[in-house]
Chain A
Amino acid sequence: MARLIGKPLKRNEDPRLLTGQALFVDDVELPGMLHAAFLRSDYAHARLKGIDVSAALEREGVVAVYTAEDMGDDWAPGPPLVIPPPTIEEVTFNTRTQVPLVKEKVRHAGEPLAVVIAESRYIAEDALDDIVVDLEPLPAVVDIERALDADAALVHDDLESNLAAHLVQTKGGYQSAREQADLIIKRRIVMDRGIAGAMENRGIVAYWDNKQQYLTVWDTTQSPIPIRNGLAGMFGLSEHQVRVIAPFVGGGFGPKIMMFYPEEVVLTWATLKLALPIKWIEDRRENFYATTQERGQVHEVEMALTEDGRILGLKDDFIHDSGAYDPYGLTIPLNTQCHVLGPYDIPNFSSELHVVFTNKTLTTPVRGAGRPHGVFVVERLLDIAARELGIDPSEIRRRNYLPNDVFPYDNVIIDQAFANFIIDSGDYLPAMEKALDMIGYKDFIENEQPRLRAEGRRVGIGVVSFIETTGVGPYEGARVTIESSGDVSVATGVGTQGQGHFTSFAQVVAEHLGVKVSDVHMVTGDTAQFHWGTGTFASRGAVVAANAMNAASSIVRKKILELASELLDAPEDELEIEDGEVRVADVPRMSISLGELAQKANPLRGAVEPGTEPGLEATAYFGPNYGATAFGTHAMIVEVDPETMNVEIRRYVVVEDCGTVLNPLILDGQVHGGVAHGIGNAFYEQLFFDDNGQLLNASFADYLIPTSAEVPTIEVGHTVTPSPLNPLGSKGAGEAGAIPVPALMAQAIENAIGEAGFEILESPMSPLKLFNLYYGDKEQ
């Protein structure tokens, strides 16, 4: 069989994408299409006393204006997306989900109050100014550490406090570990909020064709199938009357899994009423308020160690900012808890979690999804411990890695899938050693750094390890068909947001079917083509969907061989599939093309025998027992200008282990993008809110996404530890690049400054924060 899995092939989809031929939601143009604009609250917390839309309705070109009242019985808070975990004892979880349009109370700035539907987006936006809204501002809950104060305003009036969730997870006994410790490190660590910042904002085109009684929705969602099922349920339609298409999407990064967004509900409701197509394209300003965000945690942590740097236990009590609602359950903070444990042998662990409601946009997973926070916590503590004990940062990690003979390793606590957090496999030391070797760690410490320091330059190195839980269930599926042309068509339920699915999945299929990768035609994210599955999230495509591809193509291969054996009158084990045809191995003239076979498998006359199916087609599914855990080590060298606190990244090295690699070119692209994202998270991207919950930097002028000038050349190496949980041995890699960067950059900057007491306990960092830290006069 031709080895296609693992080849660095260029992407099948790129010619279309790069020449502007690919369909994005905003490219959808339908006859008679109307445009929607949403009136959004300027206040973060306010009581809605009244809305007068009469002037807006009078404006020429306005077709309709709707408020919550207009929706009547169809108005309902959204369904919870991730049901709270029944597997954790004594968990408190208060479900409060987002509403389509504000009815009584605004709970975050940007929450929609009304929608205008007009002949153009320009007219719709003009009409927003015609709407008169009476809002009574209320004190806003902004600071997560004060959200549970007795005198805090209530985000949800029917709750006694702003507590969204509370739970305690333990492993072993932290208290006894603490009593045996030679060293206790205790710190307060803060991770603040950012956005995902996908290049394409969200967008929806919804069209109810009344004559066909058929609803079509183009949506930038990462989860088209659950959207279809949910919309059908919400509006009393058969699932077969609803088609949701997630076409090409310009970046997902998590927030596009969130559902249901108010706009998805309101546009569908409105097209059902008007029976005309309606388009809404989120603009960048809306994106800063209306699309979900992440980070926002404060940790009180303690690590107990022996004098030789072995971790005896860790205690991490933290507050997580849920924003105004909590449809996404506990995914982010559970990920944080798991990743605090990292690749390390931490026998005793205790973590008390408080999730709080605030008057801010809701948080749902953004690339990393709580993992960078956990990594930041444990890596910072290890760095501090290493300094206190006089151990090299790479050495203290080496001493604490889980050894290779413990896998699968049960970490006892519950993970985001509500099952025990089990690490399937790992081999941490080679990844670390490769990274140290690539960056020249020893030479830098022994020679280069002392030489530069003598010149007065502050240059520092960092090295950080991490794990990434990936590839969670429940399942994905794929349908693989040999067409009469001999080409292969494949459909899967996951959507695509730039991951290269049209190529990496095609490689898996082509591997089995002996065709060119470019002859495999992939359809993703169209419920009319495939309607079983959940979506693209949690770094799972290359694990769950690719293994479904693998399963379906092996069945098709079997069908091909069976039929060809019959037609060529040769035993199956003497057949090979190459170059789009089946040959008898030693008799090249005895062959039949896949196209001809496909036609023979779908005859126009004759009888199909009982128990057989027409065509060379198979649908198969894959669902892992639990997630596969990727891991790696990142290392970087930075130079800090101590006068301006300008930080320049001079080297960046990644060693990534995500098991079997499907396409190294695509993988490296994922890693590069992840690191760029991580650099943003670590040093540039922070949302600033004032005391009223007003966002102060809702534009790309003030919210700083790193550009090519801020992202260094990234050197990528690999080790390969296949996952035992799936036939391909793959693990996910979509988020890994971003996960360790804040922890790494903190270590490298500290190393560059190289002065006692200069300790970074907050992310994102910035020149201003470093200035305050270095010059000692912290704000407030």
Chain B
Amino acid sequence: MKPASFEYVAPTTLDQALERLAEHGFEAKVIAGGQSLIPMMNFRLAQPSVLIDLNKIAELSYIRLKDDELRIGAMTRHVQVERDALIARHAPLIHEAMTKIATPQIRNRGTFGGSIAHADPAAELTAVTVALDARFRLQSAGGERWVPADEFFFGMFATALGPDEMLVEAAIPVAPERTGYALEEEARRAHDFAMAGAAAVTALDEGGKCSAARLVYFSIGDVPTDAGDAVAVLIGKEPTPDLIQSVVDTAADRLEPSDDIHATAEFRLHLARVLGRRALQRAFERAAVEAN
């Protein structure tokens, strides 16, 4: 379990890093917290010939409020996000998700941008960013572009990132009033990848009727799965337990979960129903508290 040989570079500015990436393209890998890449290299599943270490680039680590968006630098450690007051206030779903990511040790090192760019189907942040309508800024030596989260994830470990591009920032809209959130997941051990999970964002109008609802599953398929239309029927209605149950049943019918040693497709589908229901219920309960 030793990695194959590689060239190691540690630029101190983003521009330098992007230049190296432009130079090496597919041959290179950028390393952020290294919590996924290092094991993959040690198993020789990843054998980059150049490793571009971003850990010395201070300009990529920040959390700030800009206009009506939270901006999170790609190299911001999970632990910083977890403990940040702006995040807790304006993106409580992210706040809730953070403690479910792996272990405290991994969160000390792992980064917000790294987790998203790695695009593990079981990563909480994939579903959370989709549910929150986040956008990602992808930069290359030649320029930058913004990609919405729901267009970013292509497949297992596959994203919209080109070989010369880096995810440098995430922008998350500040939560409107009367909004509720919840993240539910079921993992074998406290820190494990979830067997199934669901992130919900809901809002209630003044009459207690649903005015917005999102439900995004993770660890069910290769990419975060938005329940989409299935939850749209909630809009304008009172979110009763029966209605929520029928919504998650409809949503589950569209899922195509896969088997692994910890959960069969059937068990995953069952968990998706349970967790989707619990996430929506809890999100509506919180929206109701917010509304008061």
Contact = CB atoms under 8 A, between A and B. Distances in A.
A284 interface: yes
A454 interface: no
Interface string B178-221: 00000000101111110100000000000000000000000000
B271 interface: yes
A393 interface: no
A588 to B, nearest CB: 56
B267 interface: yes
A684 B186 contact: no
Contacts of B188: 684, 704, 766-767
B43 A285 contact: yes
B189 A125 contact: no
A696 interface: yes
Interface stretch (B26-34, B150-158, B256-264): B256-264
A643 interface: yes
A644 B266 contact: no
Contact of B191 (A707, A777, A779): A707
A771 B270 contact: yes
A125 B2 contact: yes
A771 B267 CA distance: 7
Interface in A744-780: 766-768, 771-772, 775, 777, 779
Interface residues of B, number: 26
A644 B2 contact: no
Contacts of A702: 261-262
B134 interface: no
Interface in A618-658: 643-644, 646
Contact of A644 (B3, B190, B261, B271): B271
A644 B186 contact: yes
Contact of B192 (A121, A688, A704): A704
Interface in A671-703: 684, 688, 696-697, 699, 701-702
A126 interface: yes
A126 B1 contact: no
A392 interface: no
Nearest to A643: B274
B274 A644 contact: yes
Contact of B4 (A126, A684, A696, A707): A126
Interface residues of A, dominant DSSP: loop
A404 to B, nearest CB: 42
Contact of A767 (B39, B186, B193, B266): B186
Query: Contact residue range for chain A?
Result: 20 to 34
Contacts of B264: 768, 779
Contacts of A283: 1
Contact of A768 (B4, B43, B189, B262): B262
B5 interface: yes
A688 B1 contact: no
Contacts of A706: 189
A702 B39 CA distance: 13
Interface in A33-60: none
A699 B192 CA distance: 13
B174 to A, nearest CB: 33
B192 A777 contact: no
Interface in B240-269: 261-264, 266-267
Contacts of B1: 125, 283-285
Contacts of B5: 122, 126
Contacts of A766: 188, 262
Contacts of A121: 2
A775 B103 CA distance: 32
Interface in A144-202: none
Given A122-B2, A283-B1, A285-B1, A707 B189 contact: yes
A710 interface: yes
Contacts of B271: 644
Interface in B147-180: none
Interface string B86-119: 0000000000000000010000000000000000
Contacts of A771: 267, 270
A1 interface: no
A709 B192 CA distance: 11
A122 B41 CA distance: 12
B190 A707 contact: yes
Nearest to B268: A768
A688 B43 CA distance: 19
A284 B2 CA distance: 11
B40 to A, nearest CB: 11
A771 B186 CA distance: 13
Contact of A684 (B189, B193, B274, B275): B189
A122 B43 CA distance: 12
Contacts of A284: 1
A646 B292 CA distance: 34
A775 B3 CA distance: 45
> Which has the most chain A C-beta neighbours within 10 Å: B267, B271, B274?
B267
A110 to B, nearest CB: 13
Nearest to B275: A644
Contacts of B4: 126
Given A121-B2, A126-B4, A709-B190, A697 B270 contact: no
Contacts of B39: 701
A439 B33 CA distance: 45
A88 to B, nearest CB: 38
A709 B262 contact: no
A646 B261 contact: no
Given A126-B5, A285-B1, A768 B263 contact: yes
Nearest to B192: A704
B269 to A, nearest CB: 11
Contacts of A772: 267
Interface string B17-57: 00000000000000000000001000100000000000000
Nearest to B274: A643
A706 B191 CA distance: 10
A699 to B, nearest CB: 8
Most buried by A among B3, B43, B261, B271: B261
Contacts of A644: 186, 271, 274-275
B261 A688 contact: yes
A353 to B, nearest CB: 29
A615 B195 CA distance: 66
Contacts of B191: 707, 709
A60 to B, nearest CB: 11
B290 to A, nearest CB: 27
A710 B189 CA distance: 7
B280 to A, nearest CB: 15
A309 B221 CA distance: 51
A285 B39 CA distance: 11
A777 B5 CA distance: 49
Contacts of A696: 261
A295 to B, nearest CB: 16
A696 B275 CA distance: 27
B5 to A, nearest CB: 7
B189 A704 contact: yes
A709 B274 contact: no
Interface in A527-575: none
A777 B262 CA distance: 16
**Most chain B beta-carbon neighbours within 10 Å: one of A126, A283, A646, A767:** A767
Contacts of A646: 186
A706 B267 CA distance: 22
Contacts of B186: 644, 646, 767
12 contacts: A121-B2, A283-B1, A643-B274, A644-B271, A644-B275, A684-B189, A696-B261, A709-B190, A709-B191, A767-B263, A768-B264, A779-B264
What 8 A-B pairs have minimum CB-CB distances, sorted nearest first?
Answer: A709-B190, A283-B1, A643-B274, A688-B261, A122-B2, A125-B2, A644-B186, A771-B267
Given A697-B261, A707-B190, 9 more contacts: A121-B2, A122-B3, A125-B2, A126-B5, A643-B274, A684-B188, A704-B188, A710-B189, A766-B262
Interface of B: 1-5, 39, 43, 103, 186, 188-193, 195, 261-264, 266-267, 270-271, 274-275
